[in-house]
Amino acid sequence: MTRALITGVGAITPIGLTAHDFWTNLTAGVSGVTKITRFDTSDMSVSIAAEVNDFDPGAYMDPKDARRMGRFAQFAVAAARMAADDAGLVLTDDERPRAASSIATGSGGAIETMDEMEVLLKRGPSRVSPFYIPIMAPNMGACQVSMNLGLRGPALASVAACASGLYSFIEAKALIDAGLADVVLAGGTEAALHRLPIAALANMRALSRRNDEPERASRPFDLNRDGFVFGEGAVVVVVESEGRARARNARVYAELAGGALTCDAYHITAPREDGTGAEAAMTGALAAAGMSLTDIDYVVAHGTGTPLNDATETLAIKLAFGDHARKLAISSPKSMIGHLLGAAGAVGGLAAIFAVHHDLVPPTINLETPDPACDLDYTPGKARKMVVRAATANGFGFGGQNGCVVFRKYQP
Amino acid sequence: MATIFERVRDVVVSQLKVSPDEVTPTSSLTDDLRADSLDIVDLTIAIEEAFVDDASFEIRDEDAENIRTVQDIIDFLAAQGIA
């Protein structure tokens, strides 16, 4: 079985329009949460989000191609192009059938669906865009990346709510393990910032209402957390077979060592209270990677900042890691960039990759008052310089979707 | 006041993401301006929207089939009394 290596990274996030800017700001504790500027929130109970601003699709792709894409696909193509450039990826025509994409999303072209529905209702069916279906379809993140980079192998698009991004990494590794691909552009993308999802999640009591202090609203593991902050963006990485990467002497950030997926089979939104669904994903990921729990130094938590998630995740980490749980550095990128939903798992993966590569653990910001139910080391406030031999990234989604992926330092 | 050609040109530029210099009355939408069949449907909708205050009209499928150049759009509009 060949190994799967990370050789390139790309990102469009609320705190940076490149993977490296994202990492610089993430480790500096910079918040990307602000008042919502994209639409009127005067009648809404939640008026904050982590927006991607100053994104110009024309900087990454033909403006005409960009017009035929949803914002989520534009993010994916931009991040994928940056990842391919970062990897120095050059594909010959012979290699293209063995080059794949695996781009997850939570909701595809949700913004465009809502906007086009307005066209239908206000101006009638004759005015509806002929591009609406290929703009909205959730597979289009993957297909547009494949089209843009000429990847003619499988184009996979996992839909697993807020665990989606992790599914994409696991599928990428599966393609490489099975010998079906040598290169996979893998990641997640989400652009659903619109009145409808904000209203629905607010009514679900899932979102923070700390509207007057946007930067302090996302506070995973803090006693006074009151929900997550809605975000948007994309992360795409190049996953490459060891053989191909070594043959071209590629720079390697980390090895994608393995991962596992489970389902709570329990409730539409709440996690299984005993934490066993999430625990099974973590222990499964370690088993898939052939690693023991003491090999892990850092856990990128799902850490949404909802009362339920953070307590249950803490319990699950303790179940999975036993005594080693107290030795782990843990942190939640969502404290800074909010919850990128279908891209959140990919963001967590990128944080794990960089932590392993740089031996640096980003902080959990806004963790000011400890919660007795969350009593592990969440790296509060400040980044920590430490050796990170291996890191896991957690992701949990509505429907009981659980994912965990392990990245480790690459040892040839 | 912009001419009909200029108004049509602006819609074509905006929908097909081409340079204004490329758009002449004789430009073929598919050959010169690289439109595919979806672009042409999209363009006809945008033309309807852009001229909605000039006259009430609809570009039907059979009308769209005859639209191949920028001049064809201008001629169609003239037939609706927009000139």
Size of interface A-B (CB pairs under 8 A): 24
A139 in contact with B, Cβ within 8 Å = no
Please check whether residues A243 and A271 belong to one and the same domain. Answer: no
Contact A126 B48 (CB under 8 A): yes
Selection from A145, A69, A140, A130 nearest residue A105 by Cα = A140
Residues 6 or more apart whose CB falls under 8 angstroms from that of B52 comprise none
DSSP A390: E
How many CB atoms sit inside 10 A of residue A264's CB?
22
pLDDT, one tens digit per residue, over A106-142 is 999 999 999 999 999 999 999 999 999 999 999 999 9
Domain boundary among A196, A222, A247: A247
ipTM: 0.84
State whether residue A5 is helix, strand or coil: strand
Please check whether residues A242 and A263 belong to one and the same domain. Answer: no
Residue B27, domain extent: 4-79
Residues 6 or more apart whose CB falls under 8 angstroms from that of A170 comprise A259, A260, A261, A403, A405
Please check whether residues A66 and A192 belong to one and the same domain. Answer: yes
Contact B45 A130 (CB under 8 A): yes
B38 in contact with A, Cβ within 8 Å = yes
Please check whether residues A185 and A267 belong to one and the same domain. Answer: no
How far is residue A97 from each of residues A94, A100, A145, A154, B51, measured CA to CA in Å? 7, 8, 14, 8, 47
Give the residue ranges of chain A where pLDDT is below 50: none
Residue A332 falls inside a structural domain? yes
Residue A61, domain extent: 4-247
A130 in contact with B, Cβ within 8 Å = yes
Contact A127 B58 (CB under 8 A): no
Residue A254 falls inside a structural domain? no
Which residues of chain A does B48 touch, with a Cβ-Cβ cutoff of 8 Å? Answer: 126-127
Q: Between A63, A126, A130, which is nearest B58 by CB? A: A126
Please check whether residues A175 and A72 belong to one and the same domain. Answer: yes
Round to whole Å and give the CA distance between B68 and B72. Answer: 6
Q: What is the CATH number of the domain that holds B66?
A: 1.10.1200.10
CA distance A62 to chain B (A): 9
Contact A127 B49 (CB under 8 A): yes
Which residues of chain B does A131 touch, with a Cβ-Cβ cutoff of 8 Å? Answer: 38, 42
**Domain tally for chain A?**
2
B49 in contact with A, Cβ within 8 Å = yes
Radius of gyration of chain A measured on its C-alpha atoms? 20
In chain B, whose CA is at the least distance from the CA of A129?
A: B42
Domain boundary among A247, A280, A304: A247
Residue A19 falls inside a structural domain? yes
Please check whether residues A240 and A278 belong to one and the same domain. Answer: no
Residue A253 falls inside a structural domain? no
- The band of B61, judged by pLDDT with boundaries at 50, 70 and 90, is confident
User: CB-hemisphere CA count at 13 Å for A326?
Assistant: 3
Round to whole Å and give the CA distance between A333 and A349. Answer: 10
**Domain tally for chain B?**
1
Residues 6 or more apart whose CB falls under 8 angstroms from that of A154 comprise A100, A101, A102, A175, A180, A181
Q: Which long-range contacts (CB under 8 A, 24 or more apart) does B50-56 make?
A: B50/B7, B50/B10, B50/B11, B51/B7, B51/B77, B51/B80, B51/B82, B54/B82, B55/B80, B55/B81, B55/B82
Residues 6 or more apart whose CB falls under 8 angstroms from that of A78 comprise A10, A12, A55, A57, A59, A60, A61, A234
Round to whole Å and give the CA distance between A275 and A10. Answer: 32
State whether residue A408 is helix, strand or coil: strand
Q: Where are the beta strands (DSSP E) in A250-400?
A: 254-263, 298-300, 329-331, 360-361, 384-385, 390-397
CA distance A131 to chain B (A): 7
B32 in contact with A, Cβ within 8 Å = no
DSSP B20: G
CB distance A181 to A98 below 8 Å: yes
Please check whether residues A183 and A290 belong to one and the same domain. Answer: no
pLDDT of residue B83: 84
Tell me the residue length of chain B: 83
Please check whether residues A161 and A265 belong to one and the same domain. Answer: no
Please check whether residues A87 and A209 belong to one and the same domain. Answer: yes
Please check whether residues A59 and A142 belong to one and the same domain. Answer: yes
Round to whole Å and give the CA distance between A219 and A228. Answer: 8
Please check whether residues A77 and A224 belong to one and the same domain. Answer: yes
Please check whether residues A181 and A63 belong to one and the same domain. Answer: yes
pLDDT, one tens digit per residue, over A18-60 is 999 999 999 999 999 999 999 999 999 999 999 999 999 999 9
Phi, psi of A218, deg, nearest 5: -90, 105
CB distance A51 to A31 below 8 Å: no
DSSP track, B58-74: ---HHHHHT--BHHHHH
B64 in contact with A, Cβ within 8 Å = no
pLDDT of residue A278: 95
Report whether pLDDT(B1) > 80: no
Amino acid at A178: A
Q: What is the CATH number of the domain that holds A373?
A: 3.40.47.10
**In the numeric block, which tokens belong to residue A267?**
């409730």
CB distance B31 to B16 below 8 Å: no
Angle between helices B37-50 and B4-16 (to 10 degrees): 140
